Chains A and B, each alone.
Chain A
Amino acid sequence: MTSAEQTVPLLEVRNLSKHFGAVRALSDFSMVVRPGEVVALAGDNGAGKTTLIKAISGVYHPTAGEILLRGQPVAFATPQEARDKGIETIYQDLALADNLTIGGNIFLGREPMRKAFGFLPVLDRKAMAAAAKETMSRLDFHVSRLEAPVSNFSGGQRQAVAIGRAVYWDAQILIMDEPTAALGVPEQRKVISLIHQLKAQGRGVIFISHNLQDIFAVSDRIVVLRRGVQAGERKISETNHDEVVKLMVGG
């Protein structure tokens, strides 16, 4: 059994910078994410967290620096390219179509088709429902209502659907932007348990949150950003709330 430190990192960011004109949103930033590791990204508003994840997920093109996927340098022209390489971003506002089923959401944009009567192409709803059921059970989420639109589900369940979509398409790195922000406390705990599932499956998770309690409940390491630079990196087991807050606000 090798320790996580010795395996090839899933994702490595080396000396990444992103400038918008004279504004240095991100300067010379480095971090790694290993398989089965949850890395929390903390920092005040405007610290550069969003810039960083947009650079990783292909929305922004970095001004300088490198992104390596399993040791190979990559450059993404579009978010679609990043997704094809296994980097999935789960947005705060969920990005689900409320009127579609779980299967419909998982397969949105790449729906499976079958031939009815041997010639007429139709949506393969059965395949979608079966894949939805299988995927959600991998997340320990057992659904009986595969025909219901996701608007019928609670916030935590919908978050699970968004994560399920990433898992189905075999995302290796999930970037989760404030996944617990809009949820009640019991639902937050469900999402935290989902992140544990992802970790157990060997995926890498970048977890952005303002909630230190959540960060300490789920992360292995925490990387703190302040004004576009890395202000510190700690193992969760070796730090505490006070130290993290100090890193975030400086002082």
Chain B
Amino acid sequence: MTSTSPAQQAEKHVAPQADHSDAARSWVRRIAEGRAWLFLAGLIICFEAWSRFAFGTTFVLNPFNVQSIAIFAVAPLLLATGQTFVIISGGIDLSLGFIMGLAAVVAAHATNMAGAAIPLPLAMLAGILAAVIVAGVPGVINGLLISRLRVPPFIGTLGMFGVARGAAFLLAGGTTVPVQNSWFALLGNGRLYGVPYLVIITAVFVIVMHYLLGQTRFGQHNYAIGANVQAARRAGIDIKDHILRLYVLSAMCAGLGGALYAARFTAGAAQAGEPLLLDSVAAVVIGGASLFGGSGTILGTVAGALVIAVIQYGLVFVNVEPFWQFIAVGVVIIISVLIDQAQRRFSGARQDD
């Protein structure tokens, strides 16, 4: 019974053949994947040319400009880092803006209170820690709502958007909370060899998150869940646990963003992250992630956040009315999505021949 018939042996020759790589296709893919960096380069060249032509001065070679853009990008990038994880998993976190505000207020209060009892540098650390931990609370609630109670991420986090907003304003007493801590102010405005501390902290944090997404099981499972939840579940991945951790992670990113905001302005404000929420989503999308989940990278998001920061700062620099910023960022988002779709069509998601 174990011998095979001639017909069966003939069948063996029709074993599946591997796909042959197509140079043109892979080039299109590479360009599409790196489009955020291309955008960034194009924008910098445009602003440089504009600046030299109109004002006879350099744009990008001026260290002050570079510093300002980097500082500009810090808060949206921190939100966008967490958002990248969430969007890759196929979800979205709309509560990040006000979680950041809540964290900023908590950081201010906690630093002040701790400052009365312990040395200022320790009080500063306590404030940052308190901000990140308190930010984790709405993250836990988001995660439980989405993973256990099957609330769609859009609605669950929209609800939390309101809750965090109210909580932040209540905690702040409807006003901004000034911080009395010289160390905290130094953290927010000091520099190391000309590089602002905020930028250094953010860069280190982003590298850690890049590692988490690209090199760990958590990151790998995040991609798998975004592509095919069923497959991930059947492979034995604990989806509920993963989703919970995911939203806690993204909320804590916003928490760090809030703490650094409080350091930069030496005050905590409930509305700190309000305009940054959509910027964070935009940075992720410009960076190459799909809102349907399954794709995206932290480096892409970094480029996306820098694109937005360069547009915002650059347009002010060349003295264009600030309202053009919104139009420019909006256009970049749309072009980015169009490139993504064209690339998918050209590469052919799959060919059943």
Contact = CB atoms under 8 A, between A and B. Distances in A.
B231 A108 contact: yes
Interface string A1-29: 10111000000000000000000000000
B226 interface: yes
B353 A196 contact: no
Contacts, number: 145
A123 B15 contact: no
Contacts of B2: 1, 4, 36
B294 A123 contact: no
Given A98-B294, A99-B226, A139 B216 contact: no
Q: How large is the interface on A (under 10, 10 to 19, 20 to 34, 35 or more residues)?
A: 35 or more
A193 B232 contact: no
Interface stretch (B17-25, B135-143, B335-343): B17-25
A113 interface: yes
Interface residues of B, number: 42
B352 A154 contact: yes
Given A93-B230, A155-B350, A109 B15 contact: no
Contacts of A99: 223-224, 226-227, 294-295
Contacts of A193: 11-15
Interface string A41-56: 0000000000000000
Contact of B21 (A97, A116, A144, A190): A144
A208 to B, nearest CB: 17
- Which of B21, B231, B294 has the most C-beta atoms of chain A within 10 angstroms of its own C-beta? B231
B319 interface: no
A110 to B, nearest CB: 7
Contacts of A186: 14, 353
Interface stretch (B101-109, B233-241, B266-274): B233-241
Contact of B228 (A96, A140, A154, A189): A96
Most chain-A Cβ atoms within 10 A of its Cβ — which of B1, B211, B224, B349? B1
B62 interface: no
A189 B14 contact: yes
Contact of B352 (A83, A123, A184): A184
Contacts of A197: 12, 15
Interface in B1-52: 1-2, 4, 7-8, 11-21
Given A99-B294, A100-B224, A186-B353, 10 more contacts: A97-B223, A97-B294, A108-B237, A139-B15, A151-B349, A151-B350, A184-B353, A187-B16, A189-B14, A196-B4
Interface of A: 1, 3-5, 36-37, 79-80, 83, 91, 93-100, 104-105, 108-111, 113, 116, 120-123, 139-145, 148, 151-158, 160, 183-184, 186-187, 189-190, 192-194, 196-197, 199-200, 217, 220
28 contacts: A4-B1, A5-B1, A36-B1, A36-B2, A91-B234, A95-B230, A98-B227, A99-B224, A100-B227, A109-B232, A110-B235, A116-B215, A121-B216, A122-B215, A123-B217, A140-B12, A154-B16, A156-B16, A183-B352, A186-B14, A189-B14, A190-B14, A193-B12, A193-B13, A194-B15, A194-B16, A200-B4, A217-B7
